[in-house]
Structure 1
Amino acid sequence: MGSSIPTSVLSAKQTARLSIDCSSVSRQLVWFRKDLRVHDNPALAAAASSGEVSALFVDDPVA
């Protein structure tokens, strides 16, 4: 009738090997609210000087 989906369970040792040490990684999120200006954006400049940067822009036609 129904097919079963095999699942795997990782041991604690396997999980420890797969985990990433994020303590030394600094990532900043910069939210562009109205425009995508980057050449004079103080928030982007501050974030870029302190580590990795992820940028977020959501196009909201209602706003």
Structure 2
Amino acid sequence: MSNDIIKFYAPWCVPCKLIAPTLSKVTVERGIDVDCTICVEAASKIGVVSVPTVGL
């Protein structure tokens, strides 16, 4: 079982920018950031329909 926190974001997304400082404190060791504008297929496979999306 994994304890990773995955954050799906887009560089142009204002809410993503607002939560980034808080999430970076929480995800220092176990966090993964996925840029949905680059990793479109990965986000689609996981079912991301809006950003920001945070998954465990």
TM-score range, shorter chain: 0.3 to 0.5
Higher helix share: 2
* TM-score between both structures, scaled by the size of structure 1: 0.31
Structure number with greater CO (CA < 8 Å, separation at least 6) is 2
* TM-score between both structures, scaled by the size of structure 2: 0.34
Higher strand share: 2
